[in-house]
Amino acid sequence: MTALALIHARFQITEIFRIPIAVVGSAFWPAASMLAFVVPFVGDEPVYATYATASMITFAVMNTNLFQYGIGVSEDRAQPWDPYVRTLPAGTAPRFAGRILTGLLMMAVSLIPVALIAALFTEASVTPVAFLLAVAVCAVISIPFILMGLSIGYALPSKAALVVAQILFLPLAFGGGLMTPPGGAPGFVENLAPYLPTGGAVRLMWAAVGDFPFDTGSMLALVAWTTLFGALAIWSYRRDEGRRFG
């Protein structure tokens, strides 16, 4: 199982790195947002720079997984290779595990520029314990966005998946409060954000890197969203299987 998952991951990673712009694109928006909004406006304020960096990391996690799985899965489904691989004796589990490993690598690629910009051009700082906690939180908050991407990827053809992902990512970022420091969003956003998946994710990240209070309500909402996206991903996959193999 592990060896087969690594083979699938190597194949998918090779496919991605054959198109360098795909790698650059996954890291562009979070890094550009850091340079455009965080560095010039709050870069010299340690607390705000730390929270803003946490917001951009959450943005990168959401953006990478939404597009990596939403568009990547839908494009793979359009290839003749996909139904053949599904019929192999190894089953779908190694390929799915390989896809998860590939997505985690691409997420790391998108996070590295954000962390470097924060370290080199801002006063953001965290303790070693907070850093390790933030790494763990990145893994946790990636789950709902992976499941959201899989739901889109298995439910829609590639052109439609691209449009849906593009429509979702900016409203989720703004509505979740990723574009402002804690308490700095317009009133309606502050009221709505804790109950969006992005809002719950960034509040968990803020709590990991600073003194932001743990928000039980937003965590329960995040768990609910994760459960919903998981159910949608399973339904989408089974629906796609039924269409292909009857």
Q: In whole angstroms, give the CA distance from residue 246 to residue 240.
A: 10
Using a 10 angstrom Cβ sphere, with 0-12 exposed, 13-18 middle and 19 or more buried, the burial of residue 80 is exposed
> What tokens appear for 82 in the block?
């996909």
3-state secondary structure string across 181-224: CCCCCCHHHHHHHHHCHHHHHHHHHHHHHCCCCCCHHHHHHHHH
- Residue 227 lies inside a defined structural domain of this protein: yes
φ and ψ of 138, to 5 deg: -55, -45
Structural domain boundaries enclosing 180: 1-241
pLDDT at residue 218, rounded to an integer: 95
Cβ distance 189 to 175 under 8 Å? yes
Using a 10 angstrom Cβ sphere, with 0-12 exposed, 13-18 middle and 19 or more buried, the burial of residue 37 is middle
pLDDT at residue 136, rounded to an integer: 95
Residue type, 56: M
- Residue 169 lies inside a defined structural domain of this protein: yes
pLDDT at residue 1, rounded to an integer: 62
pTM here is 0.90
Number of domains in the chain: 1
pLDDT at residue 238, rounded to an integer: 85
Nearest to 146 by CA among 109, 114, 103, 178: 103
Cβ distance 125 to 51 under 8 Å? no
- Residue 194 lies inside a defined structural domain of this protein: yes
pLDDT at residue 90, rounded to an integer: 67
Q: In whole angstroms, give the CA distance from residue 17 to residue 25.
A: 12
Q: In whole angstroms, give the CA distance from residue 130 to residue 209.
A: 5
Q: In whole angstroms, give the CA distance from residue 35 to residue 237.
A: 38
Per-residue pLDDT of the chain (246 residues; tens, 9 = 90+): 688 888 878 888 888 888 777 778 778 888 998 999 899 988 999 999 999 999 999 999 999 999 889 988 898 888 877 777 777 766 677 877 888 888 888 888 899 999 999 999 999 999 999 999 999 999 999 999 999 999 999 999 999 999 999 899 889 999 999 988 888 888 899 999 999 999 999 999 999 999 999 999 999 999 999 999 999 988 998 888 777 665
- Residue 198 lies inside a defined structural domain of this protein: yes
Q: In whole angstroms, give the CA distance from residue 26 to residue 45.
A: 28
pLDDT at residue 245, rounded to an integer: 63
- Residue 246 lies inside a defined structural domain of this protein: no
- Residue 61 lies inside a defined structural domain of this protein: yes
- Strand, helix or coil for residue 156: coil
pLDDT at residue 150, rounded to an integer: 92
DSSP for 80-103?
THHHHHHTSTT-SHHHHHHHHHHH
Cβ distance 225 to 67 under 8 Å? no
Q: State the chain's maximal CA–CA distance in angstroms.
A: 60
Spell out the residues 6+ positions from residue 38 whose beta carbon is closer than 8 angstroms to its own.
Answer: 49, 52, 53, 56, 117, 118, 122
- Residue 63 lies inside a defined structural domain of this protein: yes
> What tokens appear for 58 in the block?
């959450």
Cβ distance 3 to 97 under 8 Å? no
pLDDT at residue 122, rounded to an integer: 94
